[in-house]
């Protein structure tokens, strides 16, 4: 008898989730860069139909040092991975374990990025895994009333996971399994039954976003700043783009995966465009608007007033103090620094190199105030409190620190380098790494301050750059494909602040445009408050290849023996040390280098 035909169920048309194999993976690494850092541990759990099929766990020899911070976070030390296999020997076993399954990770781009990079380094083909990100799914499924954030520890506690995340790979993978099952249970009630439906749900556009597509209508295809506002006109979000219309339209399609942006678009009623002459003006205006309005959905650059400074106090025996403003005209300051944590690291490094007092007592030049503390007994302080050092000798130490901030940093770094060599000779490598990181903190802070002040000390600087130029200074794409068909981007910078911006189109002499800019540029007072992020933004634009110096009221130069001269040393000090300016750039001026650019002809 012939078998009767049967109507397939809807969830059988595609791969049903109950039959799908998921491999939930978690990595521990030495840092956040897949190109520069290494994997120290892989943990994975394979599940199907809610049941665990198998587990995979191994330590990995990363091939790069493990920083003390990572050791404290994960508990993985150099000794633990010394005998572990390298990643090239581990990957084939892991790929075989995960074969034929869907790869799942919490913040999947991080873990998958490291695995793909490791496969490329080992010359292994990366299988075309389907990938599910539980962090992204959680942002779609859970509301802020349910969970304050979508960190793994928060979600594991919320769903009652049987394993607590501990920053060890297998434990975190087990916790992610419970989070995944909780998410699938919630999505099942919404009709998500198959793998295609699951992947579509994680990137779908909400109805609120789709209804607001008209907000992009009429926006120009020009560089500038856009401001999303709510019904009361309050700024919700400020952004910048080389094409306002194109960028705003992206908020209403599936390529926008940030959950908070979907929430923001649901509240937005208008989008105000501010057309700018070129990308630098747009970036600067964005920073100023964010600092002024502190929009609810912007996360960075909202509180420039929270910058901190390291202060050499103005008293008989000065000390180092972390402050939030420069109110003492007679004191000397290092900064602005990005956070109290960075300021504390710089202060600790200076104390390692120079025995300045660390107490906060008010000391007298005429008499001893009290008995010395324990720091004097171990040689970390010259005990000015009991007359252990003369004011002149102590003042020389203070001047050494002040000179390092504004000029020659080598006398401050030399004792710390000697300490690193001594610890390394004793095979106390973790302590040596701590001192190395402190040296890098000092050099980065001094280099950043010297770069900022070098530009802020110039009363007026005019510069030009080919419109539409790429990173190498040449046009990034054919003129017919660019919004700007050529010409020059022009900027007037006064004391580190963008005072005017304009564009001289192709075929237009830039001279008259520059004269008009100078006549209408903002007046910047000598005592104006410097917005460090704006100065760094301007510096990046000025230092790109192709930028030309038109005129400058003073020479643009850095100290001959300044912190910028330690770029090569920092590059060998680890991933963090490769960014002495603190803004993601890998180089500053070489010792004694004056900024020279070819002049632009009118």
Which residues are designated catalytic?
167
Tell me which residue of 72, 335, 24 sits closest to 180, measured CA to CA.
24
Angle at the Cα of 584 from the Cα atoms of 582 and 586, rounded to 5 degrees = 95
Q: How far apart are CA 4 and CA 27, in angstroms?
A: 50
Helix, strand or coil, per DSSP, at residue 249: helix
Residue spans of beta strands (DSSP E) within 325-365: 332-337
Helix, strand or coil, per DSSP, at residue 102: strand
Alpha helices, H only, 426-502: 429-456
CA quadruple 269, 274, 279, 281: dihedral, nearest 10: -130
Alpha helices, H only, 160-278: 169-188, 195-203, 207-211, 244-249, 259-267
Q: How far apart are CA 234 and CA 225, in angstroms?
A: 16
Whether residue 432 is preceded by a cis peptide bond, meaning omega within 30 degrees of 0, is no
Whether 311 and 332 have beta carbons less than 8 Å apart is answered as: yes
Whether 91 and 117 have beta carbons less than 8 Å apart is answered as: no
Whether 520 and 567 have beta carbons less than 8 Å apart is answered as: no
- Residue 519 CB neighbour total at 10 angstroms: 8
Helix, strand or coil, per DSSP, at residue 486: coil
Whether 562 and 450 have beta carbons less than 8 Å apart is answered as: yes
Q: Which pairing describes strands 102-105 and 51-59: parallel, antiparallel, or unpaired?
A: unpaired
Q: How far apart are CA 108 and CA 543, in angstroms?
A: 35
Q: Which pairing describes strands 224-229 and 235-241: parallel, antiparallel, or unpaired?
A: antiparallel
Whether 56 and 44 have beta carbons less than 8 Å apart is answered as: yes
Q: How far apart are CA 16 and CA 7, in angstroms?
A: 16
Residue spans of beta strands (DSSP E) within 122-186: 131-133
Whether 181 and 161 have beta carbons less than 8 Å apart is answered as: no
First to last CA, the chain: 93
Q: Which residues have a Cβ under 8 Å from the Cβ of 476 and sit 6 or more positions away?
A: 468, 469, 470, 482
Sheet of 461-466, strand order:
497-504, 488-494, 461-466, 548-552
Helix, strand or coil, per DSSP, at residue 170: helix
Q: How far apart are CA 317 and CA 275, in angstroms?
A: 53
φ and ψ at residue 157, rounded to 5 degrees: -65, -40
* Structural Rg of the chain based on CA atoms: 29
Q: How far apart are CA 63 and CA 409, in angstroms?
A: 32
Whether 247 and 272 have beta carbons less than 8 Å apart is answered as: no
CA quadruple 370, 373, 378, 384: dihedral, nearest 10: -40
């Amino acid at each position: 008898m012939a078998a009767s035909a049967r109507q397939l169920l809807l969830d059988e048309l595609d791969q049903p989730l109950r039959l799908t194999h998921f491999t939930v993976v978690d990595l521990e690494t030495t840092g956040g860069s897949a190109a520069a850092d290494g994997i120290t541990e892989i943990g994975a759990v394979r599940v199907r139909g809610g049941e665990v099929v198998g587990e995979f766990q191994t330590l990995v020899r990363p091939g790069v040092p493990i920083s003390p911070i990572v050791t404290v976070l994960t508990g993985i030390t150099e000794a633990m991975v010394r005998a572990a296999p390298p990643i090239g020997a581990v990957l084939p076993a892991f790929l075989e374990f995960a074969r034929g399954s869907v790869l799942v990770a919490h913040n999947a781009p991080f873990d998958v990025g490291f695995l793909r990079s490791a496969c490329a380094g080992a010359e292994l083909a990366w299988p075309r895994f389907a990938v599910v990100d539980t962090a992204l799914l959680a942002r779609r499924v859970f509301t802020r009333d349910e969970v304050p954030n979508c960190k793994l520890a928060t979600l594991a506690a919320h769903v009652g996971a049987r394993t607590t995340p501990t920053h060890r790979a297998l434990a975190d993978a087990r916790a992610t399994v419970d989070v995944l099952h909780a998410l699938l249970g919630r999505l099942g009630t919404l009709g998500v039954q198959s793998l295609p439906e699951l992947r579509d749900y994680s990137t779908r556009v909400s109805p609120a976003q789709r209804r607001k597509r008209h907000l992009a209508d009429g926006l120009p295809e020009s560089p500038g700043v856009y401001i999303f506002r709510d019904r009361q006109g309050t700024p919700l979000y400020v952004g910048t783009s080389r094409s306002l219309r194109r960028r705003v339209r992206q908020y209403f399609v599936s390529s926008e995966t940030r959950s908070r942006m979907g929430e923001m678009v649901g509240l937005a009623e208008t989008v105000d465009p501010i057309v700018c002459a070129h990308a630098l003006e747009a970036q600067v205006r964005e920073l100023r608007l964010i600092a002024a309005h502190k929009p609810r959905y912007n996360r960075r650059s909202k509180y420039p007033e929270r910058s901190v400074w390291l202060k050499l106090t103005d008293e008989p025996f000065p000390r180092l103090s972390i402050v939030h403003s420069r109110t003492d005209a007679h004191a000397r300051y290092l900064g602005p620094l990005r956070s109290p944590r960075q300021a504390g690291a710089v202060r600790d490094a200076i104390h390692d190199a120079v025995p300045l007092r660390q107490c906060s007592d008010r000391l007298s030049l005429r008499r001893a105030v009290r008995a010395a503390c324990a720091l004097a007994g171990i040689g970390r302080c010259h005990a000015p409190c009991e007359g252990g050092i003369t004011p002149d000798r102590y003042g020389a130490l203070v001047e050494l620190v002040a000179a390092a901030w504004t000029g020659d940093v080598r006398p401050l770094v030399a004792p710390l380098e000697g300490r690193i060599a001594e610890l390394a000779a004793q095979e106390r490598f973790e302590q040596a790494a701590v001192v190395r990181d402190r040296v890098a903190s000092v050099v980065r802070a001094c280099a950043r301050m010297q770069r900022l002040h070098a530009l802020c000390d110039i009363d007026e600087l005019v510069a030009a750059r080919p419109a539409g130029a790429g990173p190498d200074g040449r046009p990034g794409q054919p003129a017919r494909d660019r919004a700007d068909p050529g010409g020059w981007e022009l900027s007037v910078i006064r004391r580190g602040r963008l005072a005017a911006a304009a564009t001289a189109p192709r075929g237009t002499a830039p001279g008259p445009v520059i004269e008009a800019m100078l006549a209408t540029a903002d007046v910047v007072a000598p005592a104006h408050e410097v917005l460090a992020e704006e100065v760094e933004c301007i510096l990046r634009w000025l230092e790109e290849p192709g930028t030309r110096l038109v005129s400058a009221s003073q020479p643009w130069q850095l100290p001959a023996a300044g912190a910028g001269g330690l770029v090569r040393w920092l590059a060998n000090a680890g991933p963090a040390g490769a960014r002495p300016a603190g803004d993601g750039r890998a180089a500053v001026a070489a010792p004694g280098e004056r900024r020279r650019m070819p002049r632009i002809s009118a």
